[in-house]
Structure 1
């Protein structure tokens, strides 16, 4: 395999569309696929019921989202990994790309029109600051 393709997911339908595009691109490039979910806080809650104790954190919830998507994208001949990365989504994807020396970052085009375009979007942030190529997948339902 040559290189790593990174895709950011948040559990939404549009993110899954971007992830499926990333899966196809990774296979075509002979690369591995890394699924990343960002979390922006270190909030942790502890729940105790009887003798049982559960610890729930933003990081563990983000990792669960990434793992679920990674499992759905598993296919023969494709190495798929996942992680939770701290930071705002665009910044987290850029940091992860630098960490693994990614070949490509795949993001969806959500919030690329109208007010979202003016205020910024994950795709906009990544496109302007990525250390590698960026692919913006069409994930909205507009023609």
Structure 2
């Protein structure tokens, strides 16, 4: 799909117009560009909250981060790890941030993909190092 303007879903529940080149739709009103931007922003925000102490991961979230930090990240890696987590971990903030990474990794040419993955790796590595 080629578009001059893509409707981007923002967590606050509103749409924002963004001018883009070639984009792909990955969900209802969600493009790959919007997804990668949101993923990078959410990972950086959670890492900042962790750094200043306003968010502390549970033991399960630390175990998840530790496993992901040691794993080679391929398209199926996040989904495999997320399938194994408990309901307590699944309801936490880390899974909320990690959940879209599978879609990003499965989309080979997603705009901003590398930046989003780097932001997530920084978050996971920080949690694993302190665990």
Tell me the TM-score range normalised by the shorter chain. Answer: under 0.3
TM-score (norm 1): 0.25
Bigger strand fraction: 1
TM-score calculated relative to the size of structure 2: 0.27
Larger Rg: 1
